[in-house]
């Protein structure tokens, strides 16, 4: 089966099970340049939503995927940039809801939720997962490095307002970075802020994949446990995810299609290939490393492959 342009996976999500990903945003398009981003540095910084792709084209690919008969637990709008920058997000969500009973989730940095048009579209999602990494302007600028037109109080006000009107599940995600937002003062600040936002769950994450900035480090286990204690959240590292999958028959192209949107380390690639019956995963890893279409990043004993 030929590769999709907008769909990828299914891929494992430790929060939601097996996820079919949809990316309505060109690679690197965002209104944040987070120091921990696993996709690397933001290449197109913008705060203006655009119709990057036609909604009908994305829905057409989804209809084609439905014909495969594959089963997934959730459809996730995320991919290669900030999904709320896609001007057709509301129409895309409503179109998907008309085609399937599978829950649709949106992973977002939440920065545009002060925009009524963005909020109106996002209300159609079953699950929204906004990021809350900072409880003050200085930390927000340090960890998320927002577009110049964004300010912390505007972003927080938008998130609070959206959460108060939203009828679906709202799961806050917090990325902890050593020395930036993992001390008690920062954690209690986050706790106070989260208490002001109507939400259903809190997930605590750490930068286990190569971050945009090399100085970014994981907090200690003690700090993560302290965050769980203060925030009342669930550490994503404590959850178990299943393997990646792809409908593409060629192993190299299958891996390439996944890593364009979701980086994989060498162990994930090997596991994926073994499950597909590939007799020589090492040879394919060498091929990936030699490919001009692939970037290999070494980080803490892991070799992570990005498309």
pLDDT tens by residue, 204-234: 999 877 788 888 888 998 999 999 999 988 7
Q: What average pLDDT does the chain have?
A: 89
| Residue 1, domain member (yes or no) | no
CATH number of the domain residue 165 falls in: 3.20.20.70
pLDDT value of residue 71? 85
Q: How far is CA 124 from the centre of its chain?
A: 19
| Residue 54, domain member (yes or no) | yes
* Domain count across the chain: 1
CA dist 113 and 168 (Å) reads: 15
CA dist 145 and 224 (Å) reads: 23
Q: Give the residue numbers spanning the domain of 194.
A: 7-242
pLDDT value of residue 1? 35
* Low pLDDT (below 70) residues in the chain: 1-2, 79, 237-244, 299-302
pLDDT in tens, 250-296: 999 999 988 887 777 787 788 788 888 899 989 999 999 999 999 88
| Residue 267, domain member (yes or no) | no
Query: How are beta strands 264-265 and 302-306 bridged, if at all?
Result: antiparallel
* DSSP annotation of 49: -
CA dist 297 and 303 (Å) reads: 6
Give Cβ neighbours of residue 306 (< 8 Å, ≥ 6 apart).
39, 40, 259, 263, 294, 295, 296, 297
Beta pairing partners, 235: 204
| Residue 65, domain member (yes or no) | yes
| Residue 279, domain member (yes or no) | no
| Residue 115, domain member (yes or no) | yes
| Residue 253, domain member (yes or no) | no
Query: How are beta strands 104-108 and 127-130 bridged, if at all?
Result: parallel
| Residue 142, domain member (yes or no) | yes
Q: Which residue has the tokens 């302290």?
A: 226
CA dist 133 and 146 (Å) reads: 12
Q: Which residue has the tokens 């048009």?
A: 117
CA dist 15 and 17 (Å) reads: 6
Beta pairing partners, 174: 204
């Amino acid at each position: 089966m030929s590769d999709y342009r907008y769909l990828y996976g299914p891929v494992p999500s430790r929060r939601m099970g097996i996820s079919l990903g949809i990316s309505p945003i060109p690679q690197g398009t965002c209104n944040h340049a987070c120091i921990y981003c696993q996709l690397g540095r933001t290449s197109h910084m913008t705060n203006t939503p655009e119709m990057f792709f036609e909604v009908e084209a994305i829905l057409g690919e989804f209809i084609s995927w439905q014909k495969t008969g594959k089963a997934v637990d959730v459809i996730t709008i995320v991919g290669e940039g900030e999904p709320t920058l896609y001007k057709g997000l509301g129409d895309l969500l409503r179109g998907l809801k008309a085609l399937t009973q599978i829950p649709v989730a949106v992973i977002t940095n939440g920065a545009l939720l002060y925009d009524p048009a963005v909020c109106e579209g996002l209300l159609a999602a079953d699950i929204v997962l906004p990021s809350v990494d900072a409880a003050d302007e200085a930390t927000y600028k340090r960890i998320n490095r927002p577009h110049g037109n964004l300010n912390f109080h505007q972003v927080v006000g938008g998130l609070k307002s959206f959460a108060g009107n939203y009828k679906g599940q709202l799961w806050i995600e917090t990325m902890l970075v050593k020395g930036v937002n993992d001390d008690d003062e920062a954690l209690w600040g986050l706790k106070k802020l989260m208490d002001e936002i109507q939400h259903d769950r809190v997930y605590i994450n750490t930068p286990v994949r190569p971050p945009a900035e090399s100085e970014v480090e994981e907090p200690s286990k003690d700090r993560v446990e302290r965050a769980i204690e203060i925030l009342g959240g669930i550490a994503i590292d404590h959850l178990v995810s299943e393997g990646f999958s792809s409908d593409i028959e060629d192993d190299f192209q299958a891996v390439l299609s996944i890593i364009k949107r979701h980086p994989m380390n060498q162990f994930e690639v090997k596991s994926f290939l073994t499950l597909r019956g590939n007799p020589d995963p090492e040879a394919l890893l060498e091929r990936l490393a030699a490919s001009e279409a692939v970037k290999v990043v070494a980080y803490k004993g892991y070799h992570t492959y990005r498309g």
